[in-house]
Amino acid sequence: MEHTVRAFDQELAAIKAEVTRLGGLAEAEVSDALTALIKRDPQLAAEVVERDRKLDDLELEIEERATQLMALRQPVAIDLRRTLAALKMASNLERCGDLAKNIAKRALILGEAEPMAPLMRPIERMGRLVLRRLHDSLDAHSRDDLVLASEVWSRDREVDEHYESLFRELLTYMMGDPRTITACAHLLFVAKNLERIGDHATNIAEIVHYEITGEQLTSRPKLENLPGA
């Protein structure tokens, strides 16, 4: 029996290490996509697009290993929760990678257009906030830190506020100079993608909370009924 338990723990630790690695890759993708956009670096943007495959492959691998582990060891209680948490983490992180890839593709397009310096400041600010949330939620995951997870979760609104303000700013810019419409439309989606990455950080905080306590965090604080929501 003890032998079985140890084998389970070993394999789960290995899967968790893969999730941590996927988290690191996702963070790098988001960070590099943002840098590529702001510094107008097409080579870095192309790298982000290319590297996304790695995240897809790693997600599949984690999924297969976690499913195998469940079939082989049939975990219950906390062990089952931890295995399911790994699956959910992988799915959220893979989506963050997709969103980063999408930002990188837009960075490639925007790199060919006129620079829009005044808009880059608020995009960068929002990007840094989202990256910090993603980083903190991943920290909470790798350290099983319930306090940090709750902190990330409860500050979900900050990103929404940045997004709302960027949405309005971008529309104003488009109206002021219709030649910027195409570029601003891409930036609208960049802002939306950053907001979604922030949501995934919130999801990750919820997964960590569920993994440790077995309880679902619900009724997340949200800005309802706002224009760009």
Q: Could you tell me if 134 and 30 are in contact, meaning their C-beta atoms sit under 8 angstroms apart?
A: yes
Question: Would you tell me which residues interact with a second copy (CB under 8 A)?
Answer: 60, 67, 70-71, 74, 76-77, 80-81, 84, 87, 91, 102, 105, 109, 167, 170-171, 174-175, 178, 181-182, 185-186, 188-189, 192, 216, 218, 225, 227-229
Min dist CB 106 to a second copy, Å, is: 9
Hey, what are 42's tokens? 């097409």
By beta-carbon proximity to a second copy, the closer residue of 136 and 198 is 198
State the minimum distance, in angstroms, from the CB of residue 82 to a second copy.
12
- Comparison of 21 and 81: residue with beta carbon closer to a second copy: 81
**d(C-alpha 34, C-alpha 104), whole Å:** 8
Q: How far is CA 124 from CA 32, 145, 171, in A?
A: 12, 28, 18
List the alpha helices (DSSP H) in 143-215: 146-154, 156-176, 181-213
Residue 70 beta carbon to a second copy: minimum distance, rounded to whole angstroms: 6
d(CA 61, CA 54): 10
Smallest gap from residue 175 Cβ to a second copy (A): 5
220: helix, strand or coil: coil
Please identify, using beta-carbon distances, which residue of 102 and 137 lies nearer to a second copy. 102
Would you say 23 and 142 are in contact if contact means Cβ atoms under 8 Å apart? Answer: yes
The least CB distance from residue 14 to a second copy, in Å, is 20
CB 140 within 8 A of CB 149: yes
What's the CA gap between 118 and 120, in Å, rounded? 6
- Minimum gap (Å) between residue 124 Cβ and a second copy: 21
Q: Which is nearer to a second copy, 30 or 136 (CB)?
A: 30
- Asked if 217 and 156 touch (Cβ cutoff 8 Å), the reply is no
**Residue whose CB is less far from a second copy, 43 or 147:** 43
End-to-end CA distance of the chain: 52
d(CA 162, CA 105): 22
